[in-house]
Amino acid sequence: MPLNSMTGFARVEGTLGAARWHWELRSVNGKGLDARLRLPQGMDTLEPRLRTELAKHLRRGNCQVTLTLDRTTETAPLRVNRQALRVVLEAIGELQREMEVMPPRPEGILALKGVLENSEEAEENEESRAAFDDALVASFADAATALAAARAQEGAKLEGVLRAHVDEIERLTGEAASSPGAMPQAVQSRLSDQLKELLGASPALSDERLAQEVALLATKADVREELDRLAAHVAQARELMDSAEPVGRRLDFLTQELNREANTLCSKAADVSLTRIGLGLKAVIDQFREQIQNVE
């Protein structure tokens, strides 16, 4: 199964009656799933449903969710709120009985808040509001699906880069294993010559004592264990990338182990060529680690 990136973007539009809206979802890398919702006033009740829906599609990442809503009523029919009009006319009648005033113009009365209203808003009830909320959530589900698809597409590109890094780590590990500086006999011979040179004019050691000292130093300089671990980590990295589960956290931990072995290899290396290979390993592992930070 391809790896998923934590970087993606999706935009989905929706309509219901006179209402128009669009969702915008953006995600970047994060330790867990953290959603920040920006909803119009009065839409806060949707937040639990939106978070539940998002968790069905994403496991990790910082996700910013924005809903832009336009409930324009330019084409919607208008109607007179008879009850509000009655209240206004009664108030005008009482005022005229108490003092001499000019009767108000009809357009002035209709301009009063609540007298003239949009028929769709006037007829909105609990059932219609629930239907509107359901439409918004369904549209959000489409946006979350699109975001997951975008992250999968980005992850497919990322996987190719990661596998190339793993191949390079394997190649350098094999090169280190075949390097003369990693051969036990070469290590022992080099250490023996260095020890004799350091002793110089000092009292000579017996052949037995010299062999013991060389063996001790050779054991400390032996890098075969580090190379074996590097090979095992390479195999585990490929196994994780073939997994059907999100593996970003485990790959991140694995890069720490790879880096630890490369550091030990460099510290033990007494040969220039082996040191060069160790530094090359550290560089590739660091590049691998940077890319892993964006894997779900």
Position 38 scores a pLDDT of 95
Task: State how far the Cα of 1 lies from the Cα of 243, in Å rounded to an integer.
Answer: 6
Q: Where is 167: in which H helix or E strand? A: helix 126-177
CATH of domain 155-292: 1.20.140
- Return left, alpha or beta for 237; rule: phi > 0 is left, psi -120 to 50 is alpha, else beta: alpha
Is pLDDT of 201 > 50?
no
**Other Cβ atoms within 10 Å of 17 Cβ, number:** 14
Is pLDDT of 209 > 70?
no
Position 192 scores a pLDDT of 54
Nearest to 109 by CA among 93, 89, 90: 89
- Would you kindly state where each structural domain of the chain is located, as residue ranges? 8-73+123-152, 78-119, 155-292
User: Across 126-130, 219-223, 232-236, 275-279, which has the greatest mean pLDDT?
Assistant: 232-236
Residue range 251-279: average pLDDT?
A: 89
- Tell me the pairing of strands 8-16 and 19-28: antiparallel
Residue range 206-229: average pLDDT?
A: 62
Q: What angle do CA 22, 27, 30 make, to 5 degrees?
A: 150
Position 88 scores a pLDDT of 81
Nearest to 158 by CA among 296, 11, 9: 296
% of the chain with per-residue pLDDT over 70:
80
Q: Which of 75-79, 130-134, 264-268 has the lowest mean pLDDT?
A: 75-79
What residue has token string 């978070």?
51
Query: Residue 216: pLDDT band by 50, 70, 90 thresholds?
Result: very low
Task: State how far the Cα of 205 lies from the Cα of 210, in Å rounded to an integer.
Answer: 6
Interval 46-60: pLDDT, tens: 999 999 999 999 999
Q: Which residue has the higher pLDDT, 121 or 89?
A: 89
Position 248 scores a pLDDT of 92
Q: For residues 14 and 71, is the Cβ–Cβ distance under 8 A?
A: no
CATH of domain 8-73+123-152: 3.30.230
